[in-house]
Amino acid sequence: MRIKLINPNSTASMTASMAQAARQVAASGTEIDAVTSVSGPVSIEGHYDEAISVIGLIDAMRADPDADAYVVACFGDPGLLAARELTHAPVVGIAEAAMHAATFLSTSFSIVTTLDRTRIIAEALVRNYGMRDACRRVRAIDLPVLDLETPGDRVHEIILAESLRALEEDRCGAIVLGCAGMTGLVDYLGARLPVPVIDGVVAAVKFAEALVGARLFTSKHGDLAFPLPKPYAGAMAGYAPSGALAGGGGKQ
Ligand code: 2AL
């Protein structure tokens, strides 16, 4: 199967790290096709960034309508439901996947994310995903997303220290990494923390494999039905819906 992993920000080095983490866990028959958004913000750290990034996400899906599954590889899960409207194929967001994985492994988790404003957005996702009971706390390390790309141990140490505080103060049973830029830290943190450390990229890839393997598909019954065909005005005219992604988007 082929999983299209879409980084909705435009920083290619982040995509490369995610592709590496995804390939390390993918089954032997799974191809990870990782792409970087060709437009939009270099990092996604707020509601405006998220809104604008969705166009690049949709462009990446339209450019490749035949993937078996799609992964939205940003912890805000921007445009996740819009992406699902476009295809029969499963579309998995990394925040959603990470939180669900955490609940299979522990009755409680805390999320460690980047900026304080991102923390607030992640808290909204926790509520949206029905994870309020399981999520003890969302914590911010107060570093912008692109600082995670800085080589060296400093960022690793900051995330480790925040995770240790989460275990001590929140009494949580698992740590969810709250940014795609933290992918690849699982080995470092896992060796130093006594609890499961969940990278949403890894979780999303494995859930995508499971859903495709189980021959499951995105429901077209209700609000995830293909967008209603209608004209769009101005610069968005080219995005006017015309049913499924060309090619059928995964379901024959
Ligand atoms: C993110 C992420 O995962 N990628 C990005 O650009 N912004 N979200 C976050 N919570 O920091």
Question: Domain 95-200 falls in which CATH fold?
Answer: Rossmann fold (3.40.50)
183 lines ligand 1 (CB under 6 A): no
Please tell me if the CB atom of residue 43 comes closer than 6 angstroms to any atom of ligand 1. yes
Closest ligand 1 atom, residue 118 Cα: 10
Asked if residue 84 lies in contact with residue 91, where contact means CB atoms within 8 angstroms, the answer is yes
Common-topology check for domains 2-93+204-239 and 95-200? yes
Q: pLDDT band at residue 212, thresholds of 50, 70 and 90?
A: very high
Query: pTM for this one?
Result: 0.96
Helix (H, G, I), strand (E, B) or coil at 167: helix
Determine which residue's CA is closest to atom 2 belonging to ligand 1: 74
Check pLDDT > 90 for residue 155: yes
Domain definitions of the chain by residue range = 2-93+204-239, 95-200
Instruction: Compute, in angstroms, the gap from residue 45 CA to the centroid of ligand 1.
Output: 6
Q: How many whole angstroms separate alpha carbon 3 and alpha carbon 11?
A: 20
Count of beta carbons in the 10 Å neighbourhood of residue 65: 17
Closest atom of ligand 1 to 121 CA is 10
Average pLDDT of the chain, as a whole number: 95
What pLDDT sits at residue 149? 87
Q: Indicate whether 250 pLDDT > 90.
A: no
Q: Residue 205 burial (CB < 10 Å; 0-12/13-18/19+)?
A: buried
The CATH class given to the 2-93+204-239 domain equals: alpha beta
pLDDT tens digits, 158-182: 999 999 999 999 999 999 999 999 9
Instruction: Decide if pLDDT at 248 tops 50.
Output: no
For the stretch 68-90, pLDDT in tens is 999 999 999 999 999 999 999 99
Report the percent of the chain where pLDDT is more than 70: 97
CA dihedral sign of residues 191, 195, 200, 205: positive
Confidence band, pLDDT 50/70/90 cuts, at residue 152:
confident
Q: Does ligand 1 have an atom closer than 6 angstroms to the CB of 76?
A: yes
Q: Which long-range contacts (CB under 8 A, 24 or more apart) does 23-26 make?
A: 24/202, 25/202, 25/205, 25/206, 26/205, 26/209
* Rounded distance from Cα 176 to ligand 1 centre (Å): 13
**Cβ atoms 196, 174 nearer than 8 A:** yes
Task: Render pLDDT for 14-48 as a digit per residue (tens, 0 to 9).
Answer: 999 999 999 999 999 999 999 999 999 999 999 99
Q: What pLDDT, on the 0 to 100 scale, is given for residue 245?
A: 83
Q: How far is the C-alpha of 202 from the C-alpha of 104, rounded, in Å?
A: 15
Atom number, ligand 1, closest to the C-alpha of residue 9: 6
At 10 the pLDDT is 98
Beta bridge partners, 111, equal 138, 176
Residue 251 confidence (pLDDT) above 70: no
Tokens of 81: 């439901």
* Residue 179 near residue 201, CB atoms below 8 Å: no
pLDDT at residue 244, as a whole number: 78
